[in-house]
């Protein structure tokens, strides 16, 4: 593996993979695919006993990044506590916009999705697809917050819920 990639992430690092949230790099393995050997980061994800393999030479394209620091946690809660942003009234457009925010891997955009869908759910309810998206967004957000503030995932979920309990 190139030294540059090795310095970027190491075994034991806590990272965020946009589709699944935060996890720990358990190992770096070599796997042959189509006659070509590539190195992969093997991630153990916080949620659901899931393991994910990310090509070491494609971490930027995959959106792999380090977990936020404590100093950014307050900003996440500011986003959660802010007023909802206008969303398209068309369900399909709203769903695509939120899906793109989740896929971005940006924790502040994930927090926006959690906030906007939670507020919409409190006001008029959500479709089953948006309920699944809200659940996924909360899990992704909680998985990163648990590492950033060093709590269990259930406590991180409670911290998110508390923002909305005090608003209602």
Boundary of a domain, candidates 50, 66, 82: 66
The tens digit of pLDDT for each residue in 97-151 reads 999 999 998 999 999 999 999 999 999 889 999 999 999 999 999 999 999 999 9
Neighbours of 25 (CB within 10 A): 18
pLDDT of residue 88: 86
| DSSP letters for 24-51 | EEEEEEEEEETTEEEEEEEEEESSTT-E
How far apart CA 98 and CA 105 sit, in angstroms, is 12
Q: Which two tokens stand for residue 80?
A: 């959660």
Query: Residue 54 — very low, low, confident or very high, per pLDDT cuts 50/70/90?
Result: very high
CA-derived radius of gyration, the chain: 17
Q: Return the closest-CA partner of residue 54 out of 65, 62, 44, 66.
A: 62
* pLDDT over 70 (residue 46): yes
Query: Residue 7 — very low, low, confident or very high, per pLDDT cuts 50/70/90?
Result: low
* pLDDT over 90 (residue 4): no
One domain, residues 36 and 79 = no
One domain, residues 62 and 80 = no
One domain, residues 40 and 75 = no
What CATH number is associated with residue 32? 2.40.10.170
pLDDT of residue 89: 86
Domain tally, the chain: 2
- What's this model's pTM, rounded to 2 decimal places? 0.88
Q: What domain range includes position 14?
A: 3-66
One domain, residues 160 and 98 = yes
């Amino acid at each position: 593996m190139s030294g540059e990639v090795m310095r970027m992430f190491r075994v034991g690092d806590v990272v965020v993979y946009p589709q699944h949230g935060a996890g720990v790099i358990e190992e770096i393995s070599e796997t042959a695919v189509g006659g070509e050997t590539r190195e992969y980061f093997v991630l153990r994800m916080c949620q659901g006993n899931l393991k994910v393999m990310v090509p070491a030479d494609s971490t930027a394209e995959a959106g792999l990044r380090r977990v936020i620091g404590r100093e950014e946690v307050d900003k996440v809660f500011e986003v959660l506590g802010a007023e909802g942003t206008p969303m398209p009234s068309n369900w399909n457009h709203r769903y695509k916009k939120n899906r793109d925010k989740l896929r971005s891997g940006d924790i502040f955009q994930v927090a926006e999705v959690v906030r906007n869908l939670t507020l919409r759910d409190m006001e008029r309810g959500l479709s089953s697809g948006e309920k699944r998206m809200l659940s996924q967004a909360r899990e992704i957000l909680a998985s990163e917050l648990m590492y950033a503030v060093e709590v269990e995932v259930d406590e991180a979920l409670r911290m998110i819920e508390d923002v909305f309990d005090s608003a209602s």
